[in-house]
Amino acid sequence: MPATILLTIALSDFIWIVVGLLVMFTTLSIVVLSLTWLERKVLGRLQLRLGPTRTGPMGLMQPVADALKLILKEDIIPASSDKAIFWAAPIIVVVSAFMIWVTIPGTQSAVIQNLNMGLFYIIAFSVVGILGLVLAGWGSANKYGTLGGLRAAAQLISYEIPIIMVAVSVAMLAQSLDLREIVSAQDEYIFLLVQPLGLVLFFIAGLAEVGRTPFDIYFAESEIVGGPFVEYSGAHWSVFFLAEYINTFAVAALTVILFFGGWSGPGLSGNWEIIWFLFKVYMVIMVIFWIRGTFPRLRIDQLMAFAWKVMVPMSFLSVVMTAVYQFYEWPAWSLTAMSSTALLVVGYLIYKRMTGSTRLVAQVRSRQEALQAQRKAAANAPAGGD
Amino acid sequence: MFNSLKGLVVTLVSTMHGLRAPVTRQYPSTGNLLKRHDEPTPVKDRFMGFPALTWDETVGEPYCTSCMVCIRGCPTQCMSAVMKDNPLFIEEKSTRRKIVDTFEINLNRCILCGICVEVCNFDAIVMTHEHEMSTYNRNGDRVDLSALLEIGQKHQKATDWIPPTKRVKAVTGGDTGTGPAAAEAESK
Amino acid sequence: MAQVSKTTNRNGEPIEMLLNMGPQHPSTHGVFRMVLWVDGEKIVDVEPHIGYLHRGSEKLCEGEQYNQVITLFDRMDYIANFNNEQIYCRAVEKLMGLEVSERSEYIRVILCELNRIASHMLFIATMGLDAGAMTPSMFCFRGRERIQGLFEAVSGARMMHNYFRFGGLKEDVPDDFVPQVRELLELVKADTDESDKLLSFNEIFLARLKGIAVMTAEDAIDYGLTGPCLRASGVDYDVRKAAPYSVYDRLDFDVPIGLDGDCWDRYYLRVQEIYQSIRIVEQALDQLPEGSVESSLGRRLLRPPAGEVYVRAENPRGEIGVYLISDGSDKPYRVKVRPPSFCNLSALKHMLKDCWIADCVVILGALDIVLGEVDR
């Protein structure tokens, strides 16, 4: 008898997990479709274009049409590619992207499997995706692909460190690695208010982690024409695409959970709070699109320099600040002050270092004035024709 | 970082503009899959689309006499023509001794330079506003006399076309006739 | 073989990678091809390959009548059509000793300067795209589109105009030309301002362009650079000032120069040139005289006297020269073009020394080549 009961329990758990995964898969696919539509529409309006308009009202069916096209397209596999690696790479990338979502909660109860080491688990899995990119670059036997894969490895591993350190400082503030507890720790004030530096670091590193502009170095279209994905087509390529957008969504969701108080918001309770959560996540994603529409791309050495010379020290600083604040039990505003001061100082230093743009303008102007003065002084006679 | 923030403001402002009035227009028709409004692509008055032959309404025949001036003037040799005796001239309905028998333009070769119109002594060829003539096969844009006249007549109707030499006559009041001077004066 | 030396890097270790960039690469501005010897991400050597767009324009010119050659010049530098038409028409006019009426000279200058603005706008757009920014390209294309709309109203075509004639123009401009251009200039100024604000001083953009591919004035002169690429290195040389043609001596404008000779200077100089061109057009509109634009030639078949001429002009990309020999027949005996893009491209190897793969896209973009002109 007990054996059957145990079996029933195990089976029901198993069924629950399978159902949960299926729900997750469908939800995320719909989310990705919505994101592709949103990105094209937002970027279109930003650039004074219309974006998709033809398929369905306001082009709403465009992502569906795209997905259908990608699935029906011929899947070209280069003859010289390493077939096994070529096949495995997209699977690794997309599985790791989905695995992250197992533990990201939408509300207090809407989560497939909450882990009390949730944050740790997410960070651990986000590194696995890099392997897929490197393999994709290598396996497709293309030089652009290889360059892209290696760029991806360098970039993603560098930016993993600031992400970890900022996550640690948030975990210290919340005294937990459990995402649900991190959210409930923000009941009083959201962590954005005490750790603005952490937010900026996390957001920038997150952008780099998912390869959004200005950190889209590893598939930079104008340089290495798609990097690791250059040889992929059809369904294989769409898998990468799927993973990329799921990761973008995950970074936005983590930003919201760690710094914007997750699903907490006025007016809603219970599972309806997921509306607040989605609202905040989509707002963050809009900012990502906005940045994509504004900035050029960094160069790989500048990107690495930025990671190791700015991001890593600053993330350590944010951990130290949090630790000091926690150890001496200072009031919350002291951490806010420390954090925002550090942010402003770094921002100013970068501004100074990279441009001194006022200096540049002055330079340009004085150059012009000097030239004009020189011309007037010469008062040269008109030269002849041809 | 401050200049980058300034850039973010610029794009934000342009998004507001884009939401109100994007600069692109839909092509070839406005609306979406469910509701479409077909409207022709607007072109300027002087727009030079594909060349076509004109139709003399008063006599009921083409202006073209197959004199081959345009064919010799064409930089890409995209045209060919054959001349014949004009039956209407024998019946004394027309002043044209010769008339076009066949005329073919390979619009794929045509570079829309307008030289043929410039050199024509008989107002027989015009640059129409037609420019959406893609076909699926390579020789699909070889247009023969009847098609050329059809396109030309459409253009004549749409733009209230007056033969350039007549335009000059109307201005000067004299019968300068055809010829270089008249065609030059065409451009007021 | 010369290539053997390229298979090792500075330390004598073998270089494994030979990267083929182009002719089907999104940022080689057409069908340009570079074979890069790379050491990781660093470029060791480069071998440019041209000729993928070779149409034999110069040879074709020998088989066409004089007035038909204008259409070929339209298609050489297909971003600056009016400028190309003007240089060829000036060559034939000089050969025949033709007088060009005041009005047509002014209209030519207006259209050429507008074309220069359009060309530089396209440059800003592609520069932004090469550096990874998408939005400036849309802003600039909006401005360029407006200018092309005006061209369509004037000449009947947006790009391949065939509008200039020897000693005049094909026909006079439309009646509302002057107010239309004035309105256009305001809009173009606003468009340039917008993309300038968005891109020029952006920190990332500066990081990508400042100090890249520095050319000293000596280097630039040695390589025969002209136009914005030469002026960015601090050489004050502009054909419009050095040997004024058309009515440029009656117009007041500055020639912007750069200080460092790096990619950013090459970029920003063109932004400033747009404002200078706007100034020129404004003055030309004020001075635009009434009169005829008709050519005195009529329509008879043109047979210039035997002889040879060389004329030069300032194109958006640099100094263009046309060498024309006539043997007295109705077709030119020989037409030789000195294309600015081709000559500027010769400095590519020097510029690409010790730079990154990502830089090579930006450097090529800052040279602003048009393959139609390089390969002809």
Summarize pLDDT for C81-102 with one digit per residue, the tens.
999 999 999 999 988 888 888 8
The token pair at A368 is 């012009």
Mean pLDDT of chain C: 86
Report the residue of chain B nearest C164, measured CA to CA. Answer: B113
Q: What is the pLDDT of residue B178?
A: 46
Pairwise pLDDT comparison (C150 vs B36), residue with the higher score: C150
Does residue A386 have a pLDDT over 50?
Answer: no
Q: Please tell me whether residue B98 adopts helix, strand or coil conformation.
A: strand
Mean pLDDT of chain B: 78
Q: What is the pLDDT of residue C115?
A: 93
Taking the domains of chain B in order of start, what are their residue ranges? 2-38, 51-185
Does residue C310 have a pLDDT over 90?
Answer: yes
Report the residue of chain A nearest C137, measured CA to CA. Answer: A47
Find chain A residues with C-beta within 8 A of C128's C-beta. 296
Amino acid at C195: S
Q: What is the pLDDT of residue C110?
A: 92
Residues A254 and A344 in one domain: yes
Structural domain span for residue A146: 81-362
Q: Picking from B31-40, B89-98, C61-70, which range would have the lowest pLDDT averaged per residue?
A: B31-40
From A302's Cα to the closest Cα of chain C, the distance in A is 8
Domain count, chain A: 2
The token pair at B51 is 């060349």
Which 117-156 residues of chain A touch chain C by CB within 8 A? 143-144, 147, 151
Class in CATH terms, B51-185: alpha beta
**Of A41, A72, A103, which marks where a domain is finished?**
A72
- The C-alpha atoms of residue C319 and residue C341 are separated, in whole angstroms, by 9
From B84's Cα to the closest Cα of chain C, the distance in A is 26
From C68's Cα to the closest Cα of chain B, the distance in A is 6
> Rounded to 10 degrees, what is the CA torsion of A278, A279, A283, A289?
50
pLDDT band with cut points at 50, 70 and 90 for residue C12: low
Buried b (16+ CB within 10 A) or exposed e, B59-78: bebbbbbbbebbbebbbeeb
Mean pLDDT calculated for residue range A190-215:
85
Which 344-363 residues of chain A touch chain C by CB within 8 A? 350-351, 354-355, 357, 360-361, 363
Q: Quick check: C156 and B46 CB within 8 A?
A: yes
For chain B, say whether C131 makes contact (Cβ under 8 Å).
Answer: no
Mean pLDDT calculated for residue range C182-209:
87
% of chain A exceeding 90 in pLDDT: 2
H helix and E strand count, chain A: 15, 0
Cis-peptide into C23, omega within 30 deg: yes
From A123's Cα to the closest Cα of chain C, the distance in A is 28
Tens digit of pLDDT for each residue in B2-57?
777 777 887 887 777 777 777 787 777 766 556 667 777 778 888 888 888 988 88
Q: What is the pLDDT of residue C124?
A: 92
pLDDT band with cut points at 50, 70 and 90 for residue A362: low
Amino acid at A28: L
Mean pLDDT calculated for residue range B148-166:
83
Report the residue of chain B nearest C299, measured CA to CA. Answer: B180
Residue A381 falls inside a structural domain: no
Q: What is the pLDDT of residue B34?
A: 64
Does residue A380 have a pLDDT over 60?
Answer: no
Neighbors of chain B by Cβ distance (3+ pairs < 8 Å): A, C
Q: Quick check: A293 and B1 CB within 8 A?
A: no
Q: Picking from A132-136, B26-30, C51-55, C370-374, which range would have the lowest pLDDT averaged per residue?
A: B26-30
Find chain A residues with C-beta within 8 A of B8's C-beta. 290-291, 294
Q: Quick check: A299 and C25 CB within 8 A?
A: no
Q: Quick check: A147 and C359 CB within 8 A?
A: no
Q: How many CA atoms lie within 13 A of C156 on its CB side?
A: 25
Does residue C120 have a pLDDT over 90?
Answer: yes
Q: Picking from B88-102, C111-125, C339-353, which range would have the lowest pLDDT averaged per residue?
A: B88-102
Find chain A residues with C-beta within 8 A of C25's C-beta. 225
- The C-alpha atoms of residue B19 and residue B26 are separated, in whole angstroms, by 15
Q: Quick check: C243 and A384 CB within 8 A?
A: yes
Find chain B residues with C-beta within 8 A of A357's C-beta. 2-3
Neighbors of chain C by Cβ distance (3+ pairs < 8 Å): A, B
| Cβ-based burial of C323 (10 A; exposed 0-12, middle 13-18, buried ≥19) | middle
Does residue B168 have a pLDDT over 60?
Answer: no
Does residue A315 have a pLDDT over 60?
Answer: yes
Find chain A residues with C-beta within 8 A of C135's C-beta. 46-47, 293-294
Find chain B residues with C-beta within 8 A of C72's C-beta. 75
Find chain B residues with C-beta within 8 A of A288's C-beta. none
Cis-peptide into C244, omega within 30 deg: no
Kindly provide the residue ranges of all beta strands, DSSP E only, lying in C121-237, ordered along the sequence.
Answer: 164-165, 168-169
pLDDT band with cut points at 50, 70 and 90 for residue C323: very high
Q: What is the pLDDT of residue C31?
A: 86
Which 151-170 residues of chain A touch chain C by CB within 8 A? 151
Q: What is the pLDDT of residue C170?
A: 86
pLDDT band with cut points at 50, 70 and 90 for residue B185: very low
Residue A191 falls inside a structural domain: yes
| C208 closest CB neighbour out of A293, A296, A383 | A296
Centre a 10 Å sphere on the Cβ of residue C353 and count the other Cβ atoms it contains: 11
From B56's Cα to the closest Cα of chain C, the distance in A is 24
Whole-prediction pTM: 0.85
Residue A368 falls inside a structural domain: no
Q: Picking from A1-10, A33-42, B11-20, C218-227, which range would have the lowest pLDDT averaged per residue?
A: A1-10
Residues A129 and A28 in one domain: no
For chain B, say whether C204 makes contact (Cβ under 8 Å).
Answer: yes
Terminus-to-terminus CA distance in chain B, angstroms? 58
Tens digit of pLDDT for each residue in C215-260?
888 888 999 899 898 988 888 888 888 888 888 888 888 888 888 8
Q: What is the pLDDT of residue C290?
A: 86
Tens digit of pLDDT for each residue in A195-207?
888 888 899 998 8
Residues A85 and A222 in one domain: yes
Q: What is the pLDDT of residue C7?
A: 61
pLDDT band with cut points at 50, 70 and 90 for residue C117: very high
Smallest CA-to-CA distance from C83 within C56, C59, C115, C57 is with C115
| A290 closest CB neighbour out of B8, B18, B19 | B8
Residues A128 and A253 in one domain: yes
Residue A169 falls inside a structural domain: yes
Does residue C37 have a pLDDT over 70?
Answer: yes
**Of A72, A104, A124, which marks where a domain is finished?**
A72
Q: How far is CA C253 from CA A273, B11, B186, C241, in A?
A: 64, 32, 36, 9
Q: Which residues share a beta bridge with C33?
A: C49
pLDDT band with cut points at 50, 70 and 90 for residue B59: confident
From C155's Cα to the closest Cα of chain B, the distance in A is 7
ipTM above 0.95, yes or no: no
- The C-alpha atoms of residue A275 and residue B52 are separated, in whole angstroms, by 62
Neighbors of chain A by Cβ distance (3+ pairs < 8 Å): B, C
Q: Picking from A113-117, A294-298, C125-129, C324-328, which range would have the lowest pLDDT averaged per residue?
A: A113-117
- The C-alpha atoms of residue C211 and residue C74 are separated, in whole angstroms, by 35
Pairwise pLDDT comparison (A347 vs B52), residue with the higher score: B52
Does residue A384 have a pLDDT over 70?
Answer: no
For chain C, say whether A370 makes contact (Cβ under 8 Å).
Answer: no
Residue A159 falls inside a structural domain: yes
% of chain C exceeding 70 in pLDDT: 96
Cis-peptide into B28, omega within 30 deg: yes
Q: Quick check: A368 and C254 CB within 8 A?
A: yes
pLDDT band with cut points at 50, 70 and 90 for residue B180: very low
Mean pLDDT of chain A: 82
pLDDT band with cut points at 50, 70 and 90 for residue A379: low
Does residue A364 have a pLDDT over 70?
Answer: no
Mean pLDDT calculated for residue range A9-18:
75
For chain B, say whether A48 makes contact (Cβ under 8 Å).
Answer: yes
Q: What is the pLDDT of residue A378?
A: 65
Smallest CA-to-CA distance from C260 within C231, C222, C227 is with C231
Residues A54 and A170 in one domain: no
Mean pLDDT calculated for residue range C40-62:
86
The token pair at C232 is 């960015």
| A294 closest CB neighbour out of C19, C130, C135 | C135
Tens digit of pLDDT for each residue in A122-152?
888 888 888 888 888 888 888 888 888 888 8
pLDDT band with cut points at 50, 70 and 90 for residue C9: low
Q: Quick check: C359 and A299 CB within 8 A?
A: yes
Residues A170 and A29 in one domain: no
Residues A61 and A148 in one domain: no
Residues A159 and A54 in one domain: no
Residue A300 falls inside a structural domain: yes
Does residue A192 have a pLDDT over 50?
Answer: yes
Q: What is the pLDDT of residue C123?
A: 92
**Of A72, A100, A129, which marks where a domain is finished?**
A72
Q: How far is CA A96 from CA A119, C5, C25, in A?
A: 15, 45, 32
From B13's Cα to the closest Cα of chain A, the distance in A is 8
Domains in chain C with CATH codes: 2-49 (no CATH), 57-375 (1.10.645.10)
For chain B, say whether C175 makes contact (Cβ under 8 Å).
Answer: no
Q: How far is CA A190 from CA A185, A259, A260, A263, in A?
A: 8, 6, 6, 11
Find chain C residues with C-beta within 8 A of B41's C-beta. none
Report the residue of chain C nearest A219, measured CA to CA. Answer: C132
Residues A182 and A43 in one domain: no
- The C-alpha atoms of residue C376 and residue C372 are separated, in whole angstroms, by 5
Q: Are B39 and C231 in contact (CB under 8 A)?
A: no
Report the residue of chain C nearest B47, measured CA to CA. Answer: C156
Find chain C residues with C-beta within 8 A of B25's C-beta. none
Residue A261 falls inside a structural domain: yes
Which strand (E) or helix (H) includes residue B80? strand B79-85
Residues A65 and A119 in one domain: no
Q: What is the pLDDT of residue B181?
A: 45
From B1's Cα to the closest Cα of chain A, the distance in A is 5
Residues A306 and A244 in one domain: yes
Residues A61 and A93 in one domain: no
Pairwise pLDDT comparison (C273 vs A360), residue with the higher score: C273
Find chain C residues with C-beta within 8 A of A47's C-beta. 134-135, 138-139
Q: What is the pLDDT of residue A367?
A: 67
pLDDT band with cut points at 50, 70 and 90 for residue B186: very low
The winner for highest mean pLDDT among A173-177, A215-219, C333-337 is C333-337
Find chain A residues with C-beta within 8 A of C241's C-beta. 383
Does residue B142 have a pLDDT over 90?
Answer: no
Q: Quick check: B3 and A351 CB within 8 A?
A: yes
> Rounded to 10 degrees, what is the CA torsion of A312, A317, A318, A321?
170
Report the residue of chain A nearest C126, measured CA to CA. Answer: A222
Helix, strand, coil percentages in chain C from 3-state DSSP, rounded to 5? 50, 15, 35
Does residue B179 have a pLDDT over 60?
Answer: no
Q: Quick check: A293 and B26 CB within 8 A?
A: no
Which strand (E) or helix (H) includes residue A225? none
